[in-house]
Amino acid sequence: MNLNQTTGVFVRAPRYVLGEITRKHDEIDGFAEFVDEARMVPDADLWGWGEVHQTALTTAELAVEAGSRTLAAAAVEPGEVDALVLCSTRFPAEIAQHGELIATVLRGLELGPVPVTGVTLNRCANLLVGLRVAAAMVAAGQHRTVLVITTDRVAEESERLTEFALFSDGAASCLVTQQADTAGDSYEWVADAGALDPAALGRVTEISADLAKVANAQLCAEAGITLDAIDGLLHNNIYLPIVTMKEVQAGFSLSQLDTANIARVGHCFAADPLINLADRRSAGTIRPDGLYLLASSVSGFRVCVLLRAGESLIS
């Protein structure tokens, strides 16, 4: 839906935190054995192998750190937040621990008794699904200022190594609001789209360029643009040849891709698109009024959110 046809929706102050322990890819436990077993060419530049970020913090502590950075950057007091959307690939298994997790995050951010919506099941697309939920809340007038946080860490170190990415621990956050931030980094919500293939949801390592094409067509129709009007694609930080092949097959040009963080950050679960947007702004490569697409693909599912950069990003 094109939310700005009715009510303005803005994404503000994207921020993130990575695990405090940085390790080179070949320092990951079992890395050499993994490469041999997977029969991968041991070429770091080819795959985009670089660093991963490991934490001793809990996912709740990561969430509090990321959310605090967003609130500070946006100069928003905790009392101004009237809802929280909390995303994670893995919530606690025990129901009693769900309440403890929510209470820890609310207490750490000093938010008070605001309603909390948990988003999971969408794997590394959880954040963008959470953003769509928050945007719908704001567009409907249900809430004015929603804090969205995604937080994840690997449960076991062996899970850091997969056939499609090297995983890092971390969290990312932003505000979804009815008003732009004229003094800081703010992005207007232009359109969003998704495509789902139920038959492919269980194919853990398969990413579909066809689903991306379907989502792109929907997004472009709603936004009234062609794909080449997008200044930058902020995608998941999976292995370089995989993401390059799939996104080019979906219709993007190489110049639209943003792959620098594949080696620097690794794949931080659902947080990658927001991390990449935040870093692009820090590097001064966001064009005021430019269009930037946050996108995530997992097996059987593609979701994307199109944002327009605010004029305040000039400075």
Please write the tens of the pLDDT for every residue from 171-204.
999 999 998 887 668 999 999 999 999 999 988 7
What torsion do the CA atoms of 16, 19, 24, 28 make, to the nearest 10 degrees?
-130
Do 8 and 156 belong together in one domain? yes
Which one-letter DSSP state was computed for residue 313?
A: G
**Max CA distance (Å), the chain:** 55
Do 150 and 209 belong together in one domain? no
The pLDDT score that the predictor gives to residue 1 is 47
Q: What is the spatial distance between Cα 65 and Cα 18, in angstroms, rounded to a whole number?
A: 10
Indicate whether 290 pLDDT > 90.
yes
Do 270 and 169 belong together in one domain? no
Question: What average pLDDT does the segment 135-151 reach?
Answer: 97
Q: What is the spatial distance between Cα 134 and Cα 111, in angstroms, rounded to a whole number?
A: 16
Indicate whether 227 pLDDT > 50.
yes
The pLDDT score that the predictor gives to residue 205 is 74
pLDDT digits (tens, 9 = 90+) for 61-103: 999 999 999 999 999 999 999 999 999 999 988 888 999 999 9
User: Of the residues 151, 177, 203, which one is the last residue of a structural domain?
Assistant: 177
User: What rounded mean pLDDT belongs to the chain?
Assistant: 94
How far is Cα of residue 187 from the mean position of the Cα atoms in its chain? 15
In this structure, how many other beta carbons lie within 10 angstroms of the beta carbon of residue 146?
Answer: 28
> Residue 111 phi/psi, 5° resolution?
-85, -25
The pLDDT score that the predictor gives to residue 6 is 38
Question: How many percent of the chain have pLDDT more than 70?
Answer: 96
Do 36 and 159 belong together in one domain? yes
Indicate whether 23 pLDDT > 70.
yes
Indicate whether 2 pLDDT > 60.
no
Whole-prediction pTM: 0.95
User: Of the residues 130, 147, 177, which one is the last residue of a structural domain?
Assistant: 177
Take residue 275 and report the two structure tokens written for it: 């991390």
Do 140 and 257 belong together in one domain? no
Written as one string, the DSSP assignment of 34-99 is: HHHHHT----HHHHT--EEEE-SS-HHHHHHHHHHHHHHHHT--GGG--EEEEE-S---SSHHHHH
3-state secondary structure of 264: helix
Indicate whether 224 pLDDT > 70.
yes
Do 106 and 207 belong together in one domain? no
What torsion do the CA atoms of 268, 274, 275, 279 make, to the nearest 10 degrees?
160
**Domains: count for the chain:** 2
Do 51 and 98 belong together in one domain? yes
CATH number at residue 74: 3.40.47.10
Question: What average pLDDT does the segment 55-60 reach?
Answer: 97
User: Of the residues 113, 143, 177, which one is the last residue of a structural domain?
Assistant: 177
Take residue 27 and report the two structure tokens written for it: 């320092």
Indicate whether 315 pLDDT > 60.
no
The pLDDT score that the predictor gives to residue 5 is 44
Do 158 and 218 belong together in one domain? no
The pLDDT score that the predictor gives to residue 63 is 98
Structural domain range at position 305 = 186-310
pLDDT digits (tens, 9 = 90+) for 100-118: 999 999 999 999 999 999 9
The pLDDT score that the predictor gives to residue 312 is 55
Note whether residue 315 is domain-resident.
no
How far is Cα of residue 65 from the mean position of the Cα atoms in its chain? 16
Do 141 and 65 belong together in one domain? yes
